[in-house]
Structures are given as structure tokens and as C-alpha cells.
Amino acid sequence: MKNDRQVEILNIIQSMEIDTQEQLLAQLRRRGYNATQATISRDIKELRLVKELTGRGGYRYALSDRKNVTNLDMRLRNIFKEGVTSVDAAQNIVVVRTMPGLASAACSALDSMQVPGMVGSLAGDDTGILIMRDNASAQLFCGEIHNLLK
């Protein structure tokens, strides 16, 4: 639910000029999402949205520079702490089990982090598969994730 709402927020700000939380809330409600201003405020913070100047002298919400490693690390930690139930390696394959509906978000966060040794990922509803370059990369990654989940 939260992930779906945040994806919709990103869709809205990429397709429209939204400059207030009230406008964003109204657009979400038109799309069937029942949220409060406090929830939208938290979503904006978690998504690291910023206000940027438009060509007409106004402002609009936009994505911040998502290549910032600190932002991505924080997103990954939030996704994993909220939704990952287990991580295990089988040779060079890492299997990430999540709460229903969160595998895609977890794999997307990992893809954007450019994890060393990761070739790619594939996500279903509650399971993500990470293809690592070799067995050692898979084992190292699993160890790091287990530490992250503690």
C-alpha cells in the first residue's frame, strides 16, 4: 500500500507540476488513494523529493539526485527493514524473500545501488532473485544483508 502510493506520487510529479502537498494529496485522492497530509509529508521525505524552480518562476516537486549513495543506502535500509523476511545464497544466486508486494521495490533499490558483483535481478511478488558474478560475491552480499537486518 505504502509502496503503491509512493510509486503513484512519483508518477504524479513526473506528469504534472505539483507545488504543494495539498495539490499532491488531491491528485492522490482522485486516483483512489486515501491518505492524510502527514502521510504525504512522510512520503515526500522518504522519497527525497525537492522543490525545483520551473521555467515560469514557480516551484514544483521533483526527484532529488538519486545517485547519491547516502540516499540510496537509506532507501535500501528502509525497504529491507520493513519488508525483507530472509536472504539466502545458492551458489551465485541470492534469493531475497519479502512481505507480499515488496520484492520489486527491494530489487529496484539494489539495482540502483550498483552492488559490486551483482549482474542483475528479477522480482516477483514476494521473492527477488539476484544473479551475482560468482559464489564468493553471493556469500559476501548475504553476509552484508544479514548484518543490515540486525
Which tens digit of pLDDT belongs to each residue from 97-147? 999 988 988 888 788 777 788 999 999 999 999 999 999 989 988 888 887
- The whole-number pLDDT of residue 93 equals 97
My answer on whether 82 and 142 are in the same domain is: yes
Instruction: Say how many domains are in the chain.
Output: 2
My answer on whether 16 and 45 are in the same domain is: yes
Kindly indicate the confidence band of residue 73, based on its pLDDT and cuts at 50, 70 and 90.
low
Q: Any alpha helices (H) in the chain, and if so which ranges?
A: 2-15, 21-30, 37-47, 69-83, 103-113, 135-149
Q: Would you say residue 62 has pLDDT above 50?
A: yes
My answer on whether 129 and 101 are in the same domain is: yes
Measure the CA dihedral 70/68/103/14, to 10°.
130
- State which of 25, 43, 63 marks the end of a domain: 63
Report which DSSP code applies to 8.
Answer: H
My answer on whether 86 and 141 are in the same domain is: yes
- State which of 17, 43, 63 marks the end of a domain: 63
CATH at residue 49 = 1.10.10.10
* Helix 69-83, helix 135-149: angle, nearest 10: 70
pLDDT digits (tens, 9 = 90+) for 4-14: 898 899 989 98
Q: Would you say residue 68 has pLDDT above 80?
A: no
My answer on whether 55 and 80 are in the same domain is: no
Alpha-carbon gap, residue 39 to 95, rounded angstroms: 32
My answer on whether 82 and 55 are in the same domain is: no
Q: Which of 19-23, 45-49, 84-88 has the lowest mean pLDDT?
A: 45-49
Q: Write out the H or E segment, with its range, that includes residue 131.
A: strand 127-132
Query: Please, what is the average pLDDT of the chain?
Result: 85
Q: Would you say residue 15 has pLDDT above 70?
A: yes
Range(s) of the domain holding residue 44: 2-63
My answer on whether 93 and 140 are in the same domain is: yes
Grouping H, G, I as helix, E, B as strand and the rest as coil, residue 98 is strand
My answer on whether 55 and 74 are in the same domain is: no
Query: Which class for 68: exposed (0-12), middle (13-18), buried (19 or more C-beta within 10 A)?
Result: exposed
- The whole-number pLDDT of residue 88 equals 95
My answer on whether 52 and 80 are in the same domain is: no
pLDDT digits (tens, 9 = 90+) for 75-99: 666 767 778 899 999 999 999 999 9
My answer on whether 42 and 26 are in the same domain is: yes
My answer on whether 91 and 118 are in the same domain is: yes
My answer on whether 38 and 89 are in the same domain is: no
CATH at residue 141 = 3.30.1360.40
- The whole-number pLDDT of residue 65 equals 60
